[in-house]
Structure 1
Amino acid sequence: MTKHEFEVAMTCEGCSGAVTRILNKLGDVKFEIDLEKKLVLIESDREVEDLMATLKKCGKEVKYIGPK
């Protein structure tokens, strides 16, 4: 599985909680959230576009940083 790094405009625990709930619905991903750095590291075989679309459902700005 490939690891992808995303920057998500999270400002609080509620924001990171929303990202966690959304990613848990995918079921086939492993992820880490660094709220302080506003980073989400996702390990998945899914396409980057699919992961981006999923993360955008939390209503925050999302930027793809690249593979990790």
Structure 2
Amino acid sequence: MTCEGCSNAVTRVLHKLGGVQFDIDLPNKKVCIDSEHNVDTLLETLKKTGKNASYLGEKSVQ
């Protein structure tokens, strides 16, 4: 993700999937997702944007 267009594409596909809460960190090119879906489903959904996506692990809560 490098621009608002990319961010909008991610937002669009995740809203279509449903059951997802997310926060886009455009400067760091990351999306933090809280979802009822498994990682594979989320990655396949994000690939629909035409961008590469990878799982970086769970976010630490402090």
* TM-score above 0.5, yes or no: yes
Structural RMSD (CA):
0.7
Larger Rg: 2
Higher strand share: 1
Q: Give the number of aligned pairs.
A: 59
- Larger RCO of the pair (alpha carbons < 8 Å, separation 6+): 1
Percentage of pairs with the same residue = 59
Q: Which residue of 1 aligns with 2:23?
A: 32
Could you tell me the TM-score, scaled by structure 1's length?
A: 0.83
Query: Which ranges of structure 2 fall in alignment gaps of 5 or more residues?
Result: none
* Structure 1 outlier segments of 4+, above 4 Å: none
Give the structure 2 partner of residue 5 of structure 1.
none
Name the TM-score, length of structure 2 as normaliser: 0.90
Task: Find the residue that maps to 2:54 and give its secondary structure.
Answer: strand
Long gaps (5+) in structure 1: 1-9
8, 16, 19: which is aligned to 2:7? 16
Q: CA deviation at 1:26?
A: 1.3
